Every structure is written in structure tokens, then in C-alpha cells.
Amino acid sequence: MSADIVDTARGGGRTVSFTFDDGPNPTDTLRLLTVLRRHRIAAVFFLWGDHVSAHPEVVRKIVADGHHLGNHSMHHDDMTSWSPDRIEADLRATNEAIRRAVPAARIRYFRAPYGAWGASPAVSAALGMQPLGWRLAVGDWEPPGTDELVRRLLDGVTPGAVVLLHDGGGDRSQTVDAVDRVAPVLRSRRWRFTLPGRQA
């Protein structure tokens, strides 16, 4: 597994990957799953270990709907100054929490909280996870309104972009609404939704 931080969607051309951080969050994640199903989008969910332990049934629904899983740490800590051993212990604990919810889960990706990578790319790669960054962040962690999120998504998307969105960590109803509105527009413009690069 490469320790390089990937930020591209698979397939080239007008492709885009949607990724969602900080869940699971029952209210918004479950509604998001309905939206993604309606628009036939497979996404990557970066799971916060504490939230996994609190809501394992939502993780099971994510997997049942055909989405892919990423490790987003146990407690959403800034790992910048952490030793590799401390990072490894955290990532293993997060994977164990995910596998308690879904015993056969394939955890393909890792994303560092806050994008504060430190030594985590090499550690996550050694554990079999691709470090995944992003090319477009629309700032939905401080919800600016659904219309503004739609504008940022449509104006900001570029070919091959991995898009950073959130389904947890707060009220993400605006994000869910924005995805519901943006998906058909992107499809009408001949964009394809794919998974992030370098990993099938």
C-alpha cells in the first residue's frame, strides 16, 4: 500500500468521488444513504470510532448499501505530533470498533482528522489502508446554507476530484440537501461518480 496521500478519483476525465467524514450520525447519515441510493452514487465514509461504537447499526447500513469505509481515528484527535506507535494503536482500535459492527468489513482508506497527517500516512499504509486526502472542501463543517454549498460544489468540482463532505460532527442536513440537488446536475453535465484512485 502506498503511503502517498491520494486525492484523485478513479477513471480519469469527468470523474468525481464523494467522501463523508465524522459519522456515523443516525439522523443525517441515514437520510444521506437514501439520497445516495436514489442517485446511484457509491461513496466513502470516514468513520469516527467513538461514533461507530455508539451507532453500529448505521455502519451496517452503510456497508449494506454498497459504500466503502475509511478509518478517521478513534476520537478525532490531531495526530500531527504523535509517534508512529501511538498512531498505530489508535488506528487499530478504530478498525476493531468498525469490525465489531461489521465483522467482515474492508477498511480501504484512512484520512487524518483535520488533515493533520504527521506520521499517519506511512502507518496507515502499513496497516493496509490508502491515505486519502481531497481536492475540494466546501466548508460544510460550518454550514453556510444549502444554496451556498450547492454553489461551492458546482463551481469547485474539477476532473478527478475527491470531494470532502461531512455526514457527522454536527447538524449535516444542509450537506445532505446539497448532495441531493447537485448529483442530478453533475450527471446531466456528464460527470461520473467513482471511488478514489489507486484502489479497487
Give catalytic residues, as residue numbers.
Answer: 21, 166
For residue 66, the tally of other CB atoms under 10 A from its CB is: 12
Beta bridge partner(s), residue 107:
69
Q: CA–CA separation, 197 vs 200, rounded Å? A: 8
Grid cell, residue 156, equals 469547485
Contacts of 89 (CB under 8 A, 6+ apart): none
Cell for 9? 478519483
Is the distance from CB of 108 to CB of 130 less than 8 angstroms?
yes
Phi, psi torsion values for 198, nearest 5 degrees: 75, 5
Q: Which residues contact 9 (CB under 8 A, 6 or more apart)?
A: 15, 16, 17, 160, 161, 162, 194, 195, 196, 197
State the DSSP H helix or E strand holding residue 61, giving kind and residue range, or none if neither: helix 56-64
